[in-house]
Amino acid sequence: MKAKLDQIREQALAQIRNCDTTDKLNEIRVGILGKKGELTSVLKSMKDVAPEERPQVGQWVNDARAEIEKVLEEHRTKLERAVREARMKAEVIDVTLPAKKAEIGHRHPNTIALEEVERIFIGMGYEVVEGPEVERDYYNFEALNIPADHPAKDEQDTFYINGDILLRTQTSGVQVHEMEKGKLPIRMIAPGRVFRADEVDATHSPSFHQIEGLVIDKNITFADLKGTLAEFAKELFGEGTKVKFRPHHFPFTEPSAEMDVTCFKCGGKGCRFCKGEGWIEILGCGMVHPHVLEMSKIDPEEYSGFAFGVGLERIALLKYEIDDMRLLYENDIRFLKQF
Amino acid sequence: MNTSLSWIKAYVPDLDCTAQEYRDAMTLTGTKVEGFERKDKNLDKIVVGQIEKIDRHPDADKLVVCQVNIGTETIQIVTGAPNVKEGQKVPVVLDGGKVAGGHDGGPLPEDGIAIKAGKLRGVESNGMMCSIEELGSNRDMYPEAPEEGIYIFKDDVEVGADAVELLGLRDTVFEYEVTSNRVDCYSVLGIAREAAATFRKPFHPPVVKACGNGEDVNDYVSVEVKDTDLCTRYCARVCKNIKIGPSPEWMQRRLASSGIRPINNLVDITNYVMEEYGQPMHAFDLDTVEGHKIIVRRAKDGDQFQTLDGQMRKLDGEVLMICDAEKEIGIAGIMGGENSKITDDVHTVLFEAAIFNGANIRKSAKRLGLRTDASGKFEKGLEPRNAEDAINRACQLIEELGCGEVVGGIVDVKEPIPELRELPFEPERYNRLLGTNVRNEEMLEIFSRLDIRAVEENGQMKLVLPAFRQDLIGMADIAEEVARFYGYDKIPTTLPSGESTNGKLSYKLRIEQKARDIAEYCGFSQGMTYSFESPKVFDKLLLSADDKLRKTVTISNPLGEDFSIMRTISLNGMLTSLATNYNRRNKNVKLYELGNIYIPKALPVTELPDERMQFTLGFYGEGDFFTMKGVIEEFLESVGLKDKKEYDPNAGKTFLHPGRQALVKYQGHVLGYFGEVHPEVCDTYGIGTKAYVAVLDMPEVVPLTTFDRKYEGIARFPAVSRDISMVVPKEVLVGQIEQMIAQRGGKILESYSLFDIYEGSQIKEGFKSVAYSITFRAKDKTLEEADVSAAMKKILNGLEQMGIELRQ
């Protein structure tokens, strides 16, 4: 009996090892372990074995079966792996073929720059608000300390609808709207379209965008203005960016300043980009003029604040090295796709 | 404002700095230097030479060979200049030197022109004699230079001396950007005063002494100011026995450095004083002044007047005029009259230094289209004390330069001159505003540099502000003075303390941000177009003559008709942008814009218009009507408009294809419209293919939006689907079929989807084949056949009532 079993086993193992497909392997399995298989038939013939030998023979059969099954399984795994390997070998692709893109659209460079600025100021606790583009003279000029005969009104070449209503020349009027709401403290930025009667050329457009900023609280100082805008410049143009504040004049701030940043192209050494200056003028700012606070019913003895105004196109042109402002309003898809 | 460094140094003699240092320091104290130009930047090795001998060139008719003594030696120079004579002293550039430009006076090359010894037609030439153009200037600024040829020095210059220095070209001209509040700095003295304060050097303004003979000016002229609101001071002085001639070189050079052409001593003196003091002056020929009387009054509407440039000017009742006893002789503060102008035969001159109302001058100059140097100064609002100083300075120069004899006294008609302004000294407040700790003594030292006097009165310190600083009005102004001389750079950098605030976008802006995101996910790129456009747009869009969109907010002073109305519809910008791309052969262009339209509330405009944000999309190339519909639905769903959107084909848009347009409706609100652009409109704009546009009116959309989301569970019980196939009358819209399915499907209706639509040969005329898959599901059980059949029966009955045949 033992000899027969050994023979079956040896034969089976040899068959398995010589087998080269999983289908054949299945046939082998059925032929040995199936209902009519060789080993099964040995079990069926147990009734011919003396009862006292049956445990021994049973053990032999089980051992043989276990061994065959184990080898069978191992060989199947091996064959399957070989098949998979072969398949994958056939599936090699040229990974340098073109990508299949979802063709998403592109954001306007102005908006990209604006969202950068918004992100920075929202992080510092500023609310982004808006004001009307067609505005009253009072908000665009008078409430900003630019009375009727002020020369600054001429400098800004205003588009008028009538004597009282105009296209805003600056976003600064939003300051007044916010202050008039009477909710203090204020930390806001107000981006938006502004209009000035400039003929279109590479550096001028009769319609462009500004971002106004305003902070009103107790104990706001010029030092706070400097600190805030220095932080802003670093976030926008890079950690190494330095700022320089130069005295300037705006009717609605006092003291006033213009802020330059170190040229982000050359780091301040001077290059063609910054016309050899090493610095690039970026924004105007100042402490809110006490008279402006008073006009908006805020007590300048108790509150102070700072304001700033940034030209959005200026930032976008500088940051993305766009050399002609007209590109921003042509909407040529070859331009837009670069952002 | 341009001024040479040498002129500044005339008042700040101790000033000792490079041009760059000057520029940086002045800019940091608030007198912004835009740039500077070293006059001698390309002038090198140029000395005074004397021509000792001139010989003909052996091989060239037009050239001569000169022996030129340059002090250390005599060199040979060949020249073609027509004006050289033996004995003349001329500027000579030596071998290895440099000149600024060519003799033709064309644009100056950036790096000048290098001069080397060489041979001219075979004859050695060891340098070049220079014309004024080669030295980088011109005859306007050097009227004594010959029309053509070499510049000839006066005889008294030393041979071998620095010719550049002698010509006043060892100088640097600075260009300033003076801010509108600093009226005092529109003058050389104002800038010099700032320079002295910046560099902590003593300031020496000109000392003006009383001058004049024993006569009384009142015997020569009388002045009456009728419109004192427009003329608050009128100073007049008289000079007689005028001898017209050139002004001295130093004056000519200084004027030239400010870009003013020297003319003659009298004109140059008035210009010089205007630059120096910032006070424009005018000179009349007194013999032309009828009745020797000056009257200052407004013009009469419609008056004509000939200004000294020969032009006739039409006046109106707000233009201030200078008149004599009978007639108008000058437009106040803007330009004198032809009838009283100074000629070379003038004997007696009447000087005027007046203070006119700045705003009036500005407006008059604008209306007359005549902006002059003088009006540019007046419009800033001049300080009355300065007028008297300036006229006296001019008379002093007349005397000093031997230009005439000054008549004693001054006619001075004036409104009361305001007292000097005073402010309390409030160091704590300055420091609190600036965030600094500047010591009192330091502040007082700064004030002393600025002519701000600190005076103690009743134990209180107060500041007396100089008259020329009309911009110093309150505490913050004084704080700025402290800041700019303490140094903006020395002020610390801190962040605001105090209550923390919530940084956020307004809700409207959040929705707009979502619109951008979705448009871009769908392949649309963001464009931007102008808010103003041409009224012709409405015709281009085929709008009827009475369309309400034609009622616009109109700009009264536009850049041109093409930019004259505020848009009431956003499509023109979009179609123009698509056309631009089409023209440039860009394929598959998808654009969107978020921008306002401006709807007047009433005409004429008395209130601010309704500014309505429009989400506008447009494309041509790949895609169709339903591509656009998909973008709209993606957006609306992303902002929480989850219910069914309705589409009304009767949108009535003239600019869209009549059979391919729809209003977008949601819960009864019209949110916008979209469709295929009318072929005629495409033609008009030059878009040679089908284009699609959509406009969503954001003020309608925003109130319906929400960012709230609720989890509704994932279905646990199986769904049952039924497909139906129908033959539908052509005019029935699938939207109507869907509406029926939705109405009749009951609670177990989960969804339905169109999977086939067909019109053609197999379907009878006037009908189309439509197939839907309808899915049912219950939340709480597995549906039984009976449930589904009942629901389907209701749906099918409903559809049959619509004239729809079911196909088995």
Assess if residue A235 is contained within a domain: yes
Are residues A253 and A301 located together in one domain of the fold?
yes
Interface of B with A in 370-409 (CB under 8 A): 379-380
Facing B477 at nearest CB: one of A102, A107, A254:
A254
Are residues A278 and A308 located together in one domain of the fold?
yes
The model's pLDDT over B334-343, given as tens digits with 9 standing for 90+, comes to 999 999 888 8
B520 and A221 within 8 Å at the Cβ level: the answer is no
Alpha carbon B13 to its chain centroid, in Å, reads 37
Q: pLDDT grade, residue B40 (50/70/90)?
A: very high
d(CA B263, CA B253): 12
On whether any CB of chain A is under 8 Å from the CB of B128, the answer is no
Are residues A170 and A74 located together in one domain of the fold?
no
The pTM (predicted TM-score) of the whole model is 0.86
Q: pLDDT grade, residue B498 (50/70/90)?
A: confident
H helices within chain A, ranges in order?
2-18, 22-33, 38-44, 54-90, 109-123, 137-140, 151-155, 173-180, 222-237, 290-295, 312-320, 327-330, 333-336
Facing B503 at nearest CB: one of A124, A165, A227:
A124
Assess if residue A97 is contained within a domain: no
Residue type, B677: V
Q: Which residues contact A233 (CB under 8 A, 6 or more apart)?
A: A241, A243, A259, A261, A282
Same fold flag, B2-39+172-199 and B720-807: no
Backbone angles phi, psi at B247, to 5 degrees: -80, 165
Q: Which of A59, A90, A121 is the last residue of a domain?
A: A90
- DSSP assignments along B320-333, one per residue: EEEE-SSSEEEETT
| CA triple A300-A305-A307, angle to 5 deg | 130
On whether any CB of chain B is under 8 Å from the CB of A219, the answer is yes
Highest mean pLDDT among A76-80, B510-514, B643-647: B510-514
d(CA B604, CA B635): 37
Q: B176, B471, B473, B501: which to substitute to probe chain A, counting the most A Cβ within 10 Å? A: B501
Average pLDDT rounded to a whole number, residues A76-104: 91
| CA triple B349-B351-B356, angle to 5 deg | 150
Residue B686 has a pLDDT of: 96
Q: pLDDT grade, residue B30 (50/70/90)?
A: very high
**CB < 8 Å to B622, chain A:** none
Are residues A79 and A181 located together in one domain of the fold?
no
On whether any CB of chain B is under 8 Å from the CB of A183, the answer is no
Facing A165 at nearest CB: one of B584, B591, B605:
B605
Are residues A78 and A169 located together in one domain of the fold?
no
Dihedral over Cα of B72, B78, B81, B86: its sign:
positive
Interface of B with A in 442-461 (CB under 8 A): none
Q: How many CB atoms lie within 10 A of CB B472?
A: 19
3-state DSSP percent of chain B in helix, strand and coil, to 5: 30, 30, 45
Domain spanning B720-807, CATH architecture? 2-Layer Sandwich (3.30)
Closest of B298, B25, B290, B48 to residue B167, by C-alpha: B48
Let me know if B265 is exposed, middle or buried by CB neighbors in 10 A (0-12, 13-18, 19+).
Answer: buried
Are residues A153 and A294 located together in one domain of the fold?
yes
> Between the CA atoms of B743, B748, B751 and B756, what dihedral angle is there, to the nearest 10 degrees?
-80
The model's pLDDT over A197-211, given as tens digits with 9 standing for 90+, comes to 988 998 899 999 999
Q: How many residues are listed for chain A in this entry?
A: 339
Are residues A233 and A263 located together in one domain of the fold?
yes
d(CA B487, CA A169): 31
CA distance A287 to chain B (A): 8
Assess if residue A78 is contained within a domain: yes
Closest of B467, B573, B473 to residue B529, by C-alpha: B573
Average pLDDT rounded to a whole number, residues A175-195: 95
On whether any CB of chain B is under 8 Å from the CB of A123, the answer is yes
Dihedral over Cα of B426, B431, B434, B438: its sign:
positive
- Strand, helix or coil for residue A293: helix
Facing B516 at nearest CB: one of A107, A195, A304:
A107
Q: What is the CATH number of domain B422-490?
A: 3.30.56.10
Average pLDDT rounded to a whole number, residues B178-189: 93
How high is the mean pLDDT of chain B?
94
H helices within B145-264, ranges in order?
163-166, 188-199, 249-257
Q: What is the CATH number of domain B217-414?
A: 3.50.40.10
Are residues A125 and A62 located together in one domain of the fold?
no
Rg value, chain B, Cα: 41
- Strand, helix or coil for residue A41: helix
- DSSP assignments along B211-228, one per residue: ---SS-GGGT-EEEES-T
Residue B675 contacts residue B653 (beta carbons within 8 Å): yes
Average pLDDT rounded to a whole number, residues B94-114: 89
> Domain containing A178 — which CATH number?
3.30.930.10
Residue B48 bridge partners (DSSP) = B91
Assess if residue A102 is contained within a domain: no
What number is the ipTM of this complex? 0.87
Q: What is the CATH number of domain B44-166?
A: 2.40.50.140
- Return left, alpha or beta for B444; rule: phi > 0 is left, psi -120 to 50 is alpha, else beta: alpha
Residue A155 has a pLDDT of: 63
Residue B47 bridge partners (DSSP) = B92, B162
Query: Which range marks the domain in which residue A287 is found?
Result: 109-336
Dihedral over Cα of B111, B117, B120, B125: its sign:
positive
| CA triple B787-B791-B797, angle to 5 deg | 145
CATH classification for the domain delimited by B2-39+172-199, as one of 2.60.120.200, 3.30.56.10, 3.30.420.40, 3.30.450.70: 3.30.56.10
Domains of chain B, residue spans: 2-39+172-199, 44-166, 217-414, 422-490, 507-704, 720-807
Residue A141 has a pLDDT of: 94
A219 and B554 within 8 Å at the Cβ level: the answer is no
Average pLDDT rounded to a whole number, residues A257-272: 88
Residue B148 has a pLDDT of: 87
The least confident of A270-284, A293-307, B28-42, B477-491 is A270-284
Instruction: Check whether A157 has a pLDDT greater than 90.
Output: no
Average pLDDT rounded to a whole number, residues B467-489: 96
d(CA B807, CA B22): 94
And the tokens for B628?
């656009």
Residue A154 has a pLDDT of: 67
Cα end-to-end distance, chain B, whole Å? 92
Average pLDDT rounded to a whole number, residues B100-112: 86
Are residues A218 and A312 located together in one domain of the fold?
yes
Backbone angles phi, psi at B634, to 5 degrees: -55, -45
Assess if residue A266 is contained within a domain: yes
Are residues A209 and A325 located together in one domain of the fold?
yes
Closest of B280, B416, B258 to residue B351, by C-alpha: B280
Residue B167 contacts residue B131 (beta carbons within 8 Å): no
Q: What is the CATH number of domain B507-704?
A: 3.30.930.10
Strand runs labelled E in B411-499? 411-414, 422-424, 453-457, 460-464
d(CA A153, CA A169): 9
Assess if residue A120 is contained within a domain: yes
d(CA B367, CA B319): 9
Per-residue buried b or exposed e for B34-54, using 16+ beta carbons within 10 Å of the residue's own CB: eebeebbbbbbbbbbbbbeeb
Alpha carbon B56 to its chain centroid, in Å, reads 58
A122 and B504 within 8 Å at the Cβ level: the answer is yes
Whether residue A255 is preceded by a cis peptide bond, meaning omega within 30 degrees of 0, is yes
Are residues A66 and A208 located together in one domain of the fold?
no
Q: How many residues are listed for chain B in this entry?
A: 808
Closest of B752, B750, B747, B748 to residue B799, by C-alpha: B752
Residue A156 has a pLDDT of: 65
A330 and B577 within 8 Å at the Cβ level: the answer is yes
On whether any CB of chain A is under 8 Å from the CB of B359, the answer is yes
Instruction: Check whether B287 has a pLDDT greater than 90.
Output: yes
Between A and B, how many CB-CB pairs are < 8 A?
254
Interface of B with A in 543-582 (CB under 8 A): 553-559, 563, 566, 577, 580-581
Residue A309 contacts residue A170 (beta carbons within 8 Å): yes
Structural domain tally of chain A?
2
Instruction: Quote the crossing angle between the two packed helices B19-28 and B188-199, to the nearest 10°.
Output: 90
Assess if residue A240 is contained within a domain: yes
d(CA A39, CA A41): 5
Q: pLDDT grade, residue B808 (50/70/90)?
A: low
Are residues A147 and A66 located together in one domain of the fold?
no
